[in-house]
Chains A and B, each alone.
Chain A
Amino acid sequence: MMRNPHGLRRRSLLTGASATAVLAAAAACGEDGPAGTADDPVEISFEWWGDDARAEITTEAVNLFMSKNEGIKVQTNFADFPTYWEGMTGRMASQDLPDVFQMDYSRLRQFGTTGLLLPLEGVVKTDDFREGFLETAKLDGKLIAVPAAGNTLGLIYRSDWFEAHGVAAPAPGYSWDAYAADIAKVTAGLGEGKWGGGDWAGQYHFMELWLRQQGGSFYTEDGKALAFDQAKLAEWWQTTAALYAAGDVPPVATTVEWVEGGLVQDLLASEIGWDNFMPGFSPTVEANGGTLALAAPPTLDPNNLGLYLKPSMQFVISAATEQAEASAKLIDFLLGDPEAIAILGTSRGIPATNAGLANVELDAASQAVIDYEASVSQYLTTPPPAPPAATGAIEVKFGELYQQVQYAEMTPVEAAELFFTEAETLLANEQ
């Protein structure tokens, strides 16, 4: 029996019952009127993902907000990224989302198209965002999020190790082949147990970069299909095959055990990654006696690095909120209040507002990120539309299947074939 593609459009069979069956979620809601005074405050909830350090400063900023707005009480909560999204998925089904919460570009469509997010045009302040930022907060032309900060891909590397082993600082236009050769060189120089670079083939964002360098994209414009074929994927998964076979990048049996990552654990000399991660890694690397630097990622085409400015995090308001006004106030405060900006620093990335940029205190590493973004600004091109809702699951599948290739359980061709079966099922499931 086949799925009937012309069947009725699937629409909310969502009921409370199904939600109860899935997860028992605790509801937290303030039933006060919209006004809110110091004696009878309105209550809103605000949640984000991140570590303890981020939680501490965010709570501090929220406390400041509450002292300045006595009629509003804010309940806060946080978790690490995977836990956060596992929780949100269940709460999305039970329609029990926080009033204000942190959003990721990869989940924007999933939440946005199901009507769970409040349209923000005219609700929050939008006049102070840096150029290009607001575009990625829109879904099909409608503003449903505000960017808290932005990032782009880069090559994060140990300049001390690169230099010590005779590798020049990478410059824009650096080719993948040159990068591979440098990895081999640094690995040989570092000796047993340390590597010149990480295996980049398991990350779908890096393949997207590689596709953009060829004028392509990961998803089609409408987000309903993959915009490449199996052969292309098999080719991508072989881009590190020689390095992997030679032991120039760490074997998968080693990397699956890494908790904090190769750079932080002093085992890896370079890694492609989001540039705003660099200030996070930097203190530990410095404590280990190293220096981190940022360079443009390797490319196929010196004139097209495939880069775009992506919101690293966004804030959204639940469509079910009873306190839209108070919620918007909190967002405006976090992004625009000079004191709040000073407290929050660059934990979420380089601020997306001009006020943010003017008031944030920058350490050397954060300054390096800003300098890096300025240095590649001529290469930043239009961001792809918000990825399809299934992208979270597709991303997971991408990594899982590449792991099969690394363990030699599957050939790249076999893995690519299975990836297409799985991804197509997931994409079809969203339509």
Chain B
Amino acid sequence: MSASPSTTAPPAATGAEAPPAGGSRGAAKRRAPISRRGERLVGYTFMTPWIIGSLVFTVGPMLWSLYLSFTDYHLLLGGDWVGMANYTAMFEDPMFGRAVKVTLLYVLLAVPLKLIASLAVAMLLTQSRRGIGFYRAAFYMPSLIAMSVGIAIVWKALFSGGGPQDQFMSWFGWEGGGFIGNPSVSILMLVLLSVWTFGAPMVIFMAGLLQVPSELYEAAEVDGAGRWHRFVHITIPMLSPVIFFNVLMETVHAFQLFGPAFIIGGTAGGPAWSTLFYTVRIYALAFVDLRMGYASAWAWMLVLAVGVVTLIMFRAAKNLVYYAGEDNR
């Protein structure tokens, strides 16, 4: 480590310096303008692999499932057109209410907690400190592995009876045992898993925080504003577009939680349906009960619900989100 730089570094350095001198300037030579139409054609040509992929693997299956949702399609026996029957049956299905309840509870718990955690950590990590890069990577790490099967299994072990969570909480007089076997708290396992994986919103918050002009803070400080006031009156409003984006993304994701719930609770959403997430129920309907048509209707109801929620959020955002530079609106 000490000897090699003296021999290898100089050539590398000169090599790196050379291009900016001649190369990049030379490349900036103006090209003859290609016609708009030709340019468009080239663009689409480059996109064909993606277009084909999304048609075959996303759009096609989606349209097919939309069709299936109007049939009583059985995975093995096929099905007939039944019109709206699946959609009306859903509202008489006792499992529908349960699945919706579990999912909403999760969204309401996980989204705010995760955003608060990620914002708090982002604020810590935007300070300039020694080794901040390491901390940023370390805090981002969990979100890289969180949706893996391995972590879900680790989670299961952490929250089993007599496991770390049970032991720890027992010191404080907890008698509920492991979360795994206790339906009244088992959903918290998944909330915690979600909060722990705040990496994605954290990075976005960090980018947002670094954009806030430091003059604002300086001016406020001169006026005698404390930390709290600066946070509430500068950080939050300046960050509101980013907050809005994160709320939206996290909410949409939370509605679709599947992997960890499936591994921890199984197709039955155990214990006692307390982790019977909407998507888990869709899976069970489709692949245990083989009722593909009905499961498709459930899936489209989720699409509809998430769409409505998103729409409401956009409406609400009009009054809540502050876009700098649009003051006169």
Contacts and interface: CB of A to CB of B under 8 A. Distances in A.
A164 interface: no
A141 interface: no
How many chain B residues sit at the interface, stated as a range, is: 35 or more
Given A7-B80, A253-B271, A257-B180, 16 more contacts: A1-B88, A3-B85, A4-B82, A8-B80, A10-B77, A22-B286, A253-B177, A253-B178, A257-B160, A257-B161, A257-B178, A400-B268, A406-B272, A429-B289, A429-B290, A430-B74
Interface in A368-418: 389-390, 392-393, 396, 399-400, 403-404, 406-407, 409, 418
Given A1-B85, A4-B82, A396 B77 contact: no
Interface string B153-191: 000000011000000000000000110111100000000
Interface stretch (A84-92, A128-136, A204-212, A343-351): A84-92
Contacts of B88: 1
Contacts of B287: 86, 89-90
A420 to B, nearest CB: 12
Contact of A407 (B82, B161, B267, B272): B272
A430 B290 CA distance: 10
Most chain B beta-carbon contacts within 10 A, residue among A86, A92, A404, A407 = A407
Interface residues of A, number: 45
B76 A256 contact: no
19 contacts: A1-B83, A1-B85, A4-B82, A10-B78, A10-B79, A12-B78, A20-B56, A22-B75, A22-B292, A110-B76, A252-B181, A393-B288, A399-B268, A400-B268, A403-B270, A407-B271, A429-B289, A429-B290, A429-B291
A36 to B, nearest CB: 32
Nearest to A410: B272
Given A257-B181, A409-B183, A429-B74, A18 B161 contact: no
Interface string A209-232: 000000000000000000000000
B135 interface: no
Interface in A115-171: none
Among A89, A256, A426, A430: residue with most chain B CB under 10 A: A256
B248 to A, nearest CB: 28
Contact of A418 (B65, B78, B94, B182): B94
Contacts of A12: 77-78
At the interface, is chain A mostly helix, strand, loop or mixed? helix
Contact of B268 (A8, A22, A92, A403): A403
Contact of A253 (B64, B75, B182, B284): B182
B288 A93 contact: no
A287 interface: no
B328 to A, nearest CB: 50
B313 interface: no
B80 A10 contact: yes
Contacts of B85: 1-3
Contacts of B267: 396
Contacts of A421: 94
A93 B75 CA distance: 6
Contacts of B73: 13
Contacts of A14: 76, 78
Contacts of B97: none
Given A256-B270, A396-B267, A407-B183, A93 B76 contact: yes
B273 interface: yes
Interface string B53-78: 00010001100110000001111111
Interface in B253-297: 267-268, 270-273, 284, 286-292
Given A1-B85, A2-B85, A256-B181, A13 B79 contact: yes
A404 B270 CA distance: 10
B82 A3 contact: yes
A430 B64 CA distance: 22
A161 to B, nearest CB: 23
B109 to A, nearest CB: 20
A252 B270 CA distance: 11
B84 interface: yes
Nearest to A1: B85
The 5 closest A-B pairs by CB, nearest first: A253-B181, A13-B78, A21-B61, A407-B272, A400-B268
A17 interface: yes
Contact of A89 (B75, B80, B182, B272): B75
Contacts of B183: 407, 409
Contacts of B84: 1
A252 B271 contact: yes
B10 to A, nearest CB: 52
Interface string A81-109: 00000100110110000000000000000
A410 to B, nearest CB: 9
Nearest to A18: B64
B273 A426 contact: no
Interface centre among A92, A400, A404, A418 (most CB of B within 10 A): A400
Contacts of A8: 80
Given A1-B85, A22-B75, A114-B77, A396 B288 contact: yes
Nearest to B184: A407
